Structure 1
Amino acid sequence: MDYLYSSLPYIYTTFAAITLSLVAIIALAIGIQISRISAAPPNIPWVGLNNKRWFPKLRATFGEVVASRKPMKEGYTKFSQHNLPFILPATHWPEIVLPPSNASWIAGQPESVLSAVTVFNDIMGFEYTAPGPDMGYAHDFAVVQRDLTRNLVRSVPEVLAEIETSSSELLSDVACDGWTDVRMLGILGKVSHSAASAMFVGQPLCRDRGHLKRVRIWVTCFALVSIPYRLLFPKMLRPVFGPVLTVVMLPVKYLAVRPMLPIIKQRLAGLWKAGLSEKVDSDDDGPRDLLQWIVEDAARKRDIAQLTPWDLAGKAILVEFLAFLTTSLTISRVFVDILSHPSASSLLDELREEADAVFARLPSEPTAVREMLKLDSVIRESLHLHTMSAHGLQREVVQVGGITTPDGVYLPQGSHVATFHPDLLDDDVQYDPLRSYKVAMGALDGDGEGGPRKQKLASDIRGGQSLAFGLGKHACPGRFFAVQNIKLILGWMVTRYEFLPLVEEVKMTEVGDAEVPPGKTMVKVRRRRSEKS
């Protein structure tokens, strides 16, 4: 007992230290939010206040995490339908949501006026977590836009082989007789990661489950450390506390990139031995994956002494991180949408019939992947109506003196803007998986089977019909590759397996206005008879 009594001062001291730390953190968070709220334009109305009397904007800001899409729907009903802006409370900063009619205007503004890079840096803590010697290198995705996009068709055999290998391994317990309950969304995420890695790092790394798992752990840590960065670090203190993020991420990043380092060293040695001065011909023997293109691009652009294998590997897993998030979240939502459709069984039959015909031709005719128009339509519909976030095109006004929108709304320097597609919040617009297919077939009457316009149809979402992949020069550089992979994965799944429609509605996991299908969603699966091994 004497020992316990003697320990009480230490217990009290520890408890007091923890309490004071929590109070300080809460006070800091409140202070930061008050500062951000006070900087918002006073003449633009807020949503989500719910008639609160005491500190309504501050309470709405912290309540944004659990508010789901109610504030966005309120803004759409009260303001957007009348072509007026509103302020959406958010923990990172208040966002001025402009009417959908301003989408093209936002996308068309130069980086020196409305900056997407600044927003990305602030949300992800990119100044302290990005690879490379400077921010220009970290934001340079020309390799993805150029090399990966023009090798889309060429990537089909490698990606398809990886889909077959990973799905067979992950669904090895699924038999032909009897239905098996499977957490399909997690499996689809892993398959999409393996498929993308086939073109990102090639073999053997794309089949190294340990390496892929460590990359996913790094992705999770990357996302987690960004939360305190944007919530608790005011800009004036970021140079002090920001390097802490670098230290925290180092061991996790090292484990993720370690297997890539000797491969990069070997490829660099080969390039310098060959005396590379121009791009290696794309038909030359040797690795043709994103990692190789990153190495070649670095060798052409810079003094390679300033770009270590560590930097090059960091760039590779950064692209892998962005691709993994984009593809896994999208394919999960598309899959849930298919199985939740009232006519899911007939929809699956249509998709299976189309995929059976296309997959039979893929080994000798990879371009046939473009002819899965019904699956294109399904993906397009989910991207259009069921995007992860209810708003997009986030930008920060960086032009000195601010800027005025075409509608006459003044946006001061430092304010943040966004917009959305009205169909996302319009309850009268119903999910129709074959909407784009039916429109396309109506427009293509007389074009002939396999005609040029039909072959060109693709889910690139380049127009203003969806904000899922962004618009303008800041649109997702790997969107074509992502959509093609989703088509190949879902096409493979419906031709090799059967799925029962979901009986109960899937309750989405909601954080703010973001919605994602829960990974624990169970789906009944069985192998098709023709696929019995």
Structure 2
Amino acid sequence: MIDYLFRPQLLAVVFVVVLGLLYHRRQPKPSLPDLPWLNTKEGEWFTTLRARFRSTVNYKQSIHQAYDLYSKKNQSCIIGKLNGDEIVLPVSSINWIINQPESVLSADEPHKDVLQTDYTFVHPVVVDKPLHHETIRSELTRQLGALTMDIMDELGSAFDDIWGTNTTEWREICPFETLKLIIARTSNRVFVGLPLCRNKALLEHGIGFATAVPIASSLLKLFPDFLRPLAAVLIARPNRYHTKCFSRLVRPEIERRQKLLEGQNGDLEKKLGDPEPNDFLQWSIRRAQESPYPAERDPDIIAERLLAVNFAAIHTSTFSITNVIFDLVASNPSKKYLEQIREEASSIIAADNGVWTKSGLAKMYKTDSTLRESSRLGSFLGAGLMRQVVAPDGVTAPNGTFCPYGSCVAVPTSGVHNDPEHYPDAATYNPFRFSVERESSTAESPETENDKSNANITEEYIRKANLSFVSTSPTYHPFGHGRHACPGRFFAANELKLLLAYIVLNYEFEPLTERPESKWIGTSLVPPLTATVKVRRRKQNM
């Protein structure tokens, strides 16, 4: 379906954009403050337009300039981009940004604009009223321990199918493509359960939708606002196709469960004689039943919410683990990073009698640190904590920068993550950068809510916890920071720890002499998408 985007019919739509350019240029836009513009050259014609082009094609340099020349000095600047300008605020503004109410600085509006959700989703209400976020925060996070064995079971099945079981021959695989399939299967084991999570068509459309959204949104951003509804008829057609097919596949199961929940006060166990399904679909159906909005019980809405969590889970987790694999396999073999992670995983599972547990995962400090370090170096975001000013009169940042209504503000995340003042020898990959202090700490972690007031919860424990993969701070925010931090990061962390543990226990790699480069695509840093490595099943594994 992606090939559809490059057919001649689309060129006709692209041509239409020219008709709207003059109109588009006359539309009212935020009057940006008098701040330095990056990549402008004094005296050149069309300096603003050319600065936007330079910043867009070399965003890495732009965001690091913004950090080094302005942000670190408590100053603001503007990075103009072809798809929208942004006011880059100093990192000293981070706590102010995350504490602003949604009525002043909106975290949702920039996301909807970047993804063009009015056109890339069939039912925009799925994004406008993200009921699934509450399901993630409550049920999914609370059930992580109970889901651990299901995740591990699906990982075993998926790796057998995709990476193979041959212990004698090396097999060349593309980490990004193969791990995308494995993560899709494993995530959907939690989202829809067996046997749907292994339905090849369902996985194809889940991945297809996750791929189509950023492509369609990027193309739509090239059009002026008033032409986007017309352009979306063609450009967003793959999105509608994948949504329709995914919904058709999952709808019978949704309707079956809805019928079983009707009557007997929704006591599913009395009807089945078996435990109620413990997956995201079941939690979503129950939450929809409790919603005051009847439309939430529409199977198509529930299905598209499943697509939304697929979109959020598949690419982000695949990007993360792809970076981890290349970082480890291309590291100095004398450091024995892979062997140390393998030893940690072996000792943890042995201590728990061969069973993976939530508490065991919490003690995998080296594995956790490895995920955090690759996330620091390979964060998808160049600029983070993006907010749109929705206060009608604008808002003034602590350093005096006035941000008008409609403007977008952000902080230079990539610059922060690569600053030697925050991370000594920041350019050097050190997978155990964050585990040394955690491994040497004797502080106990809380087991229950009541433990939070116990003497064991010391400053030492808090400092240790703040070094974990999921912990955010003003100097580490690939998941965001504050109340709008990614609600699914706890699930992602557990899934990725189990995935990495399974890999090191069951496979070995042929070392790489050089790490394939990650590439900047617009404002985002993506891992190697086509690079390959050679793997072989270990003869002695867990």
* Distance in 2 separating the partners of 1:296 and 1:138: 15
Q: Which letter does structure 1 place at the counterpart of 2:479?
A: F
More divergent stretch after superposition (52-61 vs 251-260): 52-61
For residue 384 of structure 1, the aligned residue among 369, 376, 386 is: 376
Instruction: Name the CA distance, whole Å, in 2 between partners of 1:68 and 1:300.
Output: 45
1:233-382 aligned within 5 A: 233-234=224-225, 236=226, 249-276=239-266, 285-304=275-294, 307-343=297-333, 346-360=336-350, 361=352, 363=355, 365-382=357-374
Any unmatched runs of 5+ in structure 2?
A: 1-7, 448-455
In 1, the alpha carbon distance for the partners of 2:51 and 2:22 equals 12
Equivalent residues in 2 for 1:71-82, closer than 5 Å? 71-82=62-73
- Deviations 1:190-214 (CA, angstroms, capped at 9, x unpaired): 2111111111111111112221012
Distance 2:60 2:356 in 1: 47
Aligned with 2:540: secondary structure?
helix
Q: Counterparts of 2:11 and 2:303 in 1: how far apart (Å)?
A: 41
CA distance in 1, matches of 2:13, 2:184: 40
**Does residue 149 of structure 1 match 2:141?**
yes
Cα separation, 2, equivalents of 1:162 and 1:187 = 14
CA shift for structure 1 position 117: 1.2
User: Which runs of structure 2 are paired with 1:349-498 in the superposition (5 Å)?
Assistant: 349-360=339-350, 361=352, 363=355, 365-421=357-413, 422-426=415-419, 429-430=426-427, 431-442=429-440, 444-445=441-442, 453=461, 458-498=468-508
Give me the whole-angstrom Cα distance separating, in 2, the residues matched to 1:334 and 1:148: 25
The Cα of 1:30 is off from its aligned counterpart by 7.8
Query: Does the Cα contact within 8 Å between 1:211 and 1:256 map onto a contact in 2?
Result: yes
Letter in 1 for 2:389: V
Q: Report the alpha carbon displacement of residue 521 of structure 1 after superposing the two structures with TM.
A: 1.2
- Distance of 1:30 and 1:359 partners within structure 2: 64
| Alignment of structure 1 residues 79-98 onto 2, 5 Å | 79-98=70-89
Mark the CA change 1:240 to 1:184 in structure 2 (over 3 Å): closer, same or farther. closer
What is aligned with 1:3? none
Partner Cα distance (2:532, 2:77) in 1: 39
Report deviation, 1:409. Answer: 0.9
Compared CA separation, residues 512 and 241, structure 1 to 2 (3 A) = closer
Counterpart CA distance in 2 for 1:190 and 1:320 is: 12
Distance apart, 1:241 and its partner CA: 5.8
CA contact (8 A) 2:285 2:297 kept: no
Paired residue type of 1:257: S
Identical aligned residues as a percent: 28
The alignment partner of 2:221 has SS state of helix
Q: Distance in 1 between matches of 2:306 and 2:13?
A: 38
Contact between 2:151 and 2:495, CA under 8 Å: does it hold in 1? yes
Maintained 8 Å contact 1:218/1:256:
no
* 2: CA distance, partners of 1:313 / 1:21: 30
| 1:138 Cα offset (Å) | 3.6
Say which SS state the counterpart of residue 155 (structure 2) adopts.
helix
SS at match of 2:138: helix
Instruction: Return closer, same or farther for 1:246/1:524 CA change in 2, 3 Å cut-off.
Output: closer
CA distance in 2, matches of 1:254, 1:194: 20
User: In the alignment, is the contact (CA less than 8 A) between 2:260 and 2:266 conserved in 1?
Assistant: no
Describe the shift of the 1:232–1:139 C-alpha distance in structure 2 as closer, same or farther (beyond 3 A): farther
Matched AA of 1:504: E
Following superposition, the deviation at residue 439 of structure 1 comes to: 2.4
Amino acid of the residue matched to residue 177 of structure 2? G
1:163 aligns with 2:160: no
Distance 1:242 1:21, change over 3 A: closer
1:209 corresponds to which residue?
A: 200
2:317 partner amino acid: T
Give the equivalent residue in structure 1 for 2:110.
119
8 Å contact kept, 2:132–2:284: no
Structure 2 counterpart of 1:429, which letter? Answer: A
TM-score (norm 1): 0.87
Matches of 2:94 and 2:298 in 1, distance apart? 40
What is the CA RMSD across the aligned residues, in angstroms? 3.2
The whole-number CA distance in structure 2 between the counterparts of 1:279 and 1:90 is: 55
SS across alignment from 2:379: coil
Match of 1:100 among 77, 85, 91: 91
Distance 1:424 1:290 in 2: 33
In structure 1, distance between residues paired with 2:483 and 2:265: 34
Aligned to 1:10: none
Q: Give the Cα–Cα distance (whole angstroms) in 1 for the partners of residues 78 and 211 of structure 2.
A: 30
Residue 199 (1) aligns with residue 209 (2): no
Displacement of 1:284 in angstroms is 7.9
C-alpha separation in 1, matches of 2:330 and 2:25: 39
Given the superposition, is the C-alpha separation of residues 308 and 528 from structure 1 closer, same or farther in structure 2, using an over 3 Å criterion? same
Contact 1:48 1:74 in 2 (8 A): no
Aligned to 2:129: 137
Q: Deviations over 1:111-138 (max 9, x none)?
A: 1100111111212122344465835434
Name structure 1 gaps, 5 residues minimum: 1-14
Q: Are the equivalent residues in 2 in contact too, given 1:278–1:300 (CA < 8 A)?
A: no
Q: What number of residue pairs does the alignment pair up?
A: 510
Sort the Cα spacing of 1:398 and 1:270 in 2 relative to 1 into closer, same or farther, 3 A: same
Secondary structure at the residue paired with 2:348? Answer: helix
User: SS of the counterpart of 1:433?
Assistant: coil
* Contact 1:345 1:501 (C-alpha < 8 Å) held by counterparts: no
Deviation digits for residues 53-91 of structure 1, max 9, x if unmatched? 121221232344421401112222221221111111222
1:352-372 Cα distance to aligned partner (Å, 9 max, x none)? 000112234352744311111
Q: Secondary structure at the match of 1:41?
A: coil
Alignment of 1:44-83 (within 5 A): 44-49=35-40, 53-83=44-74
Is the contact made by 1:370 and 1:458 (CA closer than 8 Å) also made in structure 2?
no
Task: Map 1:2-41 onto structure 2 (within 5 A).
Answer: 24-26=16-18, 28=20, 32=24, 39-41=30-32
Q: Distance in 2 between matches of 1:54 and 1:119?
A: 30
1:515 aligns with 2:525: yes
Deviation for aligned residue 1:229: 2.6
For the 8 Å contact 1:469–1:476, the answer to whether it is kept is yes
Q: Which residue identity lines up with residue 161 of structure 2 in the other structure? A: E
String of CA shifts for 1:274-324, please: whole Å, max 9, x gaps. 3339999xx981211001101100001135466311111111111111111
Q: Distance in 2 between matches of 1:287 and 1:248?
A: 31
| Structure 1 residue 261, shift from structure 2 partner | 0.1
Q: 1:205 to 1:52 in 2, by over 3 A?
A: farther
Change over 3 Å in CA distance of 1:35–1:45 after alignment to 2: farther
Q: Distance in 2 between matches of 1:381 and 1:279?
A: 44
- Cα distance change, pair 19–78 in 1 and its aligned pair in 2 (3 A): same
CA gap of 1:277–1:160, structure 2 versus 1, over 3 A, is closer
